[in-house]
Each structure stands twice: as structure tokens, then as C-alpha cells.
Amino acid sequence: MPDNNESSTDGFLLQGFSDYTELQIPLFCLFLMIYLLTLKANLLILIVSYKTSLIQTPMYFFLCNLAFIDIFSSSVYQPKLLLVLLRGDNTISFIGCIFQLHCFMSLACTEFVSLTVMAYDRYVAICNPLRYLIVMNRRFCVILVISCWMVGFTEPLSHTLLVSTLPFCGSRALDHFFCDLIILLKLSCKDTFFIELLTYILGSIIGLPAFILIIGSYIYIVATILKIHSSSGRKKAFSTCTSHVTVVIVFYGSILITYMRPPSQYSTILSKPSAFLYTSITPLINPFIYTLRTKEMKQYVSRRSIVKH
């Protein structure tokens, strides 16, 4: 009698764009451009922050951490997707699929916590400016960033281990462009109710408190800004927060719409656009949002452009 888990050890087939054979090359060019721009934009933030010593300030220190997350997260999916589109080889090994799944969940969790830390940083800067550099000292900032990565890569371990033991006795075809948790659960021939329940529980333990802390921080921030008598002062205070709020809305919105609903209501047709948003577009637009909103970044880029010309 054949082993029920035999198909899983053989790997899976990524069929995200296999129905659009005539668009393989245009899609390859599109995703290659997005990936290269993502790397360039996020590396620019790291280089500018380092060369101008902005990385010494807490806000830019956390921004560099977000840039690292975006570089790693886009590198989890994009290279494999580019190979699939260019060569047509859509196979991915079982270990590679589990690794991709774990990296996705870990980096998403790390970004959740990191965005919460960045909201707290803005809260201290605006609501308690005189003690800002004392509270957000270098040692505390380093501890916060290390904690973000530790929580991010520890929380999904149970999911990874449980999914890696599931038997996949039917089709190996994943109707997606990366190894998505819900699709893997639907392919399994074993009852996955416990893993689905664990997803909601752990998602609530990490995501819900993080979201509440962000909302709480901005309630205090808005209340403090409204007390500022100078209109220019209020505008400056708001401008330091709008970029972070924009990133939070885009990231939280795309993730929650996709995963915080029953698997029975999961649609690959609808999930692909939202997955494209948080796996490709969000890492790309994050640095542009912060660059356009941050005076120091704009000044550095402008100076470099003048020097080149």
C-alpha cells in the first residue's frame, strides 16, 4: 500500500499563472521590475540612513528594520516566481514549500510587531518629546527590534511543524504563486480543524493586541496634536505619522481580508490579487511612502540628483 504522504515528499506544482501562457514573458518583466525596484528602494533607505547617520535616531533605526523585512519578504517569493515564469518549471520541493510558508508567516508576524513598535515610537516622540531620547535610547531600540524578530520567527513554528506532518494524498497542484497556508490545508486528506483553529488563536494573540496598541497610540497622538496651538506645528506632527498610518492600513487590510475568514470562504481568484498586494506591492511602496514623507530622505535624494547632473 503506498504511503499517503508520498505526494508531499515529491513536492508541489505552483499554478498561479499557468492559465495565462501568452502572458508569461510580460508577467516575468513586470515581476522582475517590481523585485529590482523593491531591492533598490529599500537598499536606498539603508544606505541613506547609514551615510547621513540618521540610523542613530530611533525613527530611522526602525525604518531600516522595516526595510530589512521588506527585502527578505520579497526575496522569499519573487526569485522562485521569476524562475517559474521564465523557464516554465513550476515545481517546488516539499522542503522548499514548507520553508517558504514558514518565512512568509514569520516575516508577516515580524512586520506586525515592528509596525506596533513604530507606532509606540511616534507616540513617545509626540506625546512625550522631552523624554523621547531617554525613553527610546539605543539599547532599548535594539531590544525592541530583536524582540520583533524573535516573536516573528517563534510564533509560526507550531504551524510549520503541524503542516509538515500533514499527509497530501490527492493533487499536488497549488493554485497560487507561492505556498499559501490555506491552500496547503485544503490539499491535505487529513482533518485540519485544529490547525485552522490555531491560526485564528495565534493570529488573535499577535495581530489583535498589536492592532489595539497601534490604535491606542494614535488616539493619544491625535489628542496631543489637537492641543498644539500652531497650525504649522500640528501639520508637522501629523506629517511624521501619515506614512506609518498608510503602511499599516495597506498591510493590515490585505492580510486580514485574506486570512481572517473561514477556509470554506477562501477564493484563490480573490486571494491572488490581495497576495500580490502584500507580497510584492507593499514591500515596494513602503520605502516610497517614507521617502516622500520624510524631509531628510527627500533632501538626500535631491542632492544626489543634482550632483549626478
CA distance 79 to 76: 7
Q: Which three cell numbers stand for residue 180?
A: 499559501
Class in CATH terms, 6-308? mainly alpha
Can you tell me the mean pLDDT for 105-121?
93
CB 266 within 8 A of CB 186: yes
Whole-number Cα distances in Å, 21 to 104, 150, 208: 27, 41, 41
Is residue 37 predicted with pLDDT exceeding 60? Answer: yes
CA distance 14 to 84: 8
Range with the poorest average pLDDT among 148-152, 243-247, 264-268: 264-268
**Any idea what DSSP says for residue 23?**
G
Whole-number Cα distances in Å, 149 to 106, 117, 137, 152, 272: 8, 12, 19, 5, 27
Is residue 307 predicted with pLDDT exceeding 80? Answer: no
Q: What percent of the chain stands above pLDDT 70?
A: 87
Residue type, 284: L
Can you tell me the mean pLDDT for 49-57?
86
Q: Residues near 223 by Cβ (< 8 Å), separated by ≥ 6? A: none
Quick: pLDDT tens for 203-222: 788 878 888 999 999 999 99
Quick: pLDDT tens for 75-101: 998 999 999 888 888 899 999 999 999
CB 118 within 8 A of CB 65: no
CA distance 1 to 38: 49
Q: Return the domain boundaries, the chain.
A: 6-308
Beta strand spans in the chain (E): 12-14, 91-92, 173-174
Residue type, 199: T
Burial status of residue 58 (CB atoms within 10 A of its CB: 0-12, 13-18, 19 or more): buried
The cell 523593491 sits on which residue?
38
